[in-house]
Chains A and B, each alone.
Chain A
Amino acid sequence: MARRPNSSKQTEAVLAALLSDTSEWQHGYSLSRETGLKSGTLYPILMRLERQGWLEARWEDEPTPGKPRRHLYRLTGTGAQEAGAIVAATEPGHAVASFRSIGKEGVA
């Protein structure tokens, strides 16, 4: 049977981290720390999620002085719904919390 897309453990961890607050933009490093994934694993997942329309990315408006602008990420409305379904299948408790967060902010 074909595996559901974006259902690898690593991708699920990224989706769960992004679902923890769907309204907040997150940095790559914070996602890496939250998921325990190395950058070489994390970024290909982020790239794929963005291509699929599950993730939106933008550059920081006001960088820390002397530092370059950082890239920020958050789930799109579609991404939040799909991710919620995937995470719900593996971690019911987490998914409930995530869906509450989506409900509060509204899905774009």
Chain B
Amino acid sequence: MNATARPFVRIVRGAAIAVCPRADRPWIEAMFAEASAIPERSRLAWLSGATSIVWAAFHARLGASLPAGRRWGAFGAAHVGAGFLGLGLTDIEAFIFDDDWFLAFGGITVTALAATLGAALVSAFRGPGSRQNAA
């Protein structure tokens, strides 16, 4: 897109190209280039189409880097972590119950979950055809 393109469109275009597999990038470039040549009233709908293609490509890559088993595991861990943190914040320390233990377990669970999701996101960006792996 040309230098006069709106900054927002340029940012969206840059993000879209970074997220897409290398083989699809010329097509995304083409859609953004076309957007600047079409009547303004049709431009938003045109760009939303481009965004849907980019989202589908990214979703496929994310799905490949976070298989169904791990996805359900993450879903379960999120709930368990939230439960631990909830118990950890009750301020109850009586008999054998100490809320500090739950706070610690919750912290560990949430940190592990964040690390897993972060690794999946990084893997999705570095998937086959990404900029990092480009020859």
Asked if B46 lies at the interface with its beta carbon under 8 angstroms from chain A, I say yes
* A43 in contact with B31 (CB, 8 Å): yes
Query: Interface size on B (CB < 8 Å)?
Result: 24
Q: Is the interface of B mostly helix, strand, loop or mixed?
A: helix
* B37 in contact with A64 (CB, 8 Å): yes
Chain A's nearest CB lies how many Å from the CB of B61? Answer: 16
* A28 in contact with B31 (CB, 8 Å): yes
Candidate in A29, A40, A46 with the most chain B CB atoms within 10 angstroms: A40
Asked if A38 lies at the interface with its beta carbon under 8 angstroms from chain B, I say yes
Q: Which residues of B contact A69 (CB under 8 A)?
A: 33
Q: Which residues of B contact A44 (CB under 8 A)?
A: 53
Q: Which residues of A contact B132 (CB under 8 A)?
A: none
Q: What 0/1 pattern do residues 13 to 47 of A give for CB contact below 8 A with B?
A: 00000000000000111001000001111111011
Asked if B92 lies at the interface with its beta carbon under 8 angstroms from chain A, I say no
Q: What 0/1 pattern do residues 11 to 51 of B give for CB contact below 8 A with A?
A: 00000000000001011011111101110001001111110
- Distance, CA A57 to CA B26, complexed state (A): 10
Chain A's nearest CB lies how many Å from the CB of B66? Answer: 23
* Given A38-B45, A40-B48, A47-B24, A71 contacting B53 (CB threshold 8 A): no
User: Which residues on B are within 8 Å of A, measured CB to CB?
Assistant: 1-2, 4, 24, 26-27, 29-34, 36-38, 42, 45-50, 52-53
User: Which residues on A are within 8 Å of B, measured CB to CB?
Assistant: 27-29, 32, 38-44, 46-47, 57, 64, 66-71
